[in-house]
Amino acid sequence: MPSRPPAPGRRGYIIPIGGAEDKLLARAILRKYAELCGLEHARIAVLPTASMDPETPDRYRKVFAEVGVGEVVVCNPRTRHETHDAAKVLKGCTGVFLTGGDQLRLSTILGGTDVARELRKMNAHGVHVAGTSAGAAFLSEHMICFGKEGGTPFAGQATLAAGLGLTNRLVIDQHFRQRDRMGRLLAALAYNPFAIGIGLDEDTAAFIAPNDTFEVVGSGGITLVDAACIEHSAMAETPEGRPVEMLGMRLHVLVEGSKFDLHHRKATPAPPRPMPE
């Protein structure tokens, strides 16, 4: 279960990003995140544990500095042994940003460690935690760690593992439209219809506020699947590798400015946009 905030409305934002966010032009997602964290008064920790690219920390250090963040530090444990000292880097941060890579590196290196405990406590006390790509998948309690592509769910398509647990309301998938991942998100929801599935396109984020409503920011869309009222799921009796029958789910496609209330499971359309001349 997510850590309990000390007072209602005190929790920080949770921001899953679908990967490949704009780092060069408008930088809408990263700029909005930096503003939430305090811009020149912000101290953001970049956590690149999921990535094997040695340039990842400097890439985010540079882009956050360019959008006006006052201080950027790197918390980069590469083994479970390193997590105790790494957790000290997080002290005093107003935001933490988990980069992309392999989400299994995040769960196997950070799961149950001082870093994971500190992240949960920090978010409960108002620190904003964002993750892109693998970092986005890791934010929730139930994490899709891998699975095959395709639009139709089939038995065994999605493999789940424990995530960081900042929220238990969501199952998150990333690079959604670009990598044809509807089937594996549906398969994950067939295992756990309590959760709401959100498929994040690249350069698209859900800014989840302390009151469990979120707004879409970015150039793509979010495919939201609500399985709470599912009428039938054949997952339990479907042989491995065969398509799964699922009936009665609700589906929304949300774009920039759209909102969704996770508590009441209600979508609100984006404000009308002026037509181009």
Judge whether 240 counts as a catalytic residue.
no
Give me the catalytic one of 175, 215, 233, 252. 175
CA dist list (Å): 220 to 19, 98, 210: 11, 20, 24
Confirm if 173 and 142 have CB atoms less than 8 A apart: no
Measured between alpha carbons, how far is 223 from 267 in angstroms, rounded to an integer? 12
Helix (H, G, I), strand (E, B) or coil at 140: strand
Longest dimension (CA), the chain: 59
In degrees and rounded to multiples of 5, residue 259 shows phi and psi of: -130, 155
Q: Which of 107, 133, 140, 233 is catalytic?
A: 133
Q: Catalytic pick from 21, 118, 202, 215?
A: 202
Q: Are strands 232-233 and 222-226 parallel, antiparallel or unpaired?
A: unpaired
Cβ pair 52, 101 in contact under 8 A: yes
232 is catalytic: no
Beta bridge partners of 95: 44, 128
Tell me, yes or no, if 133 is annotated catalytic: yes
- Catalytically active residues are 133, 175, 202
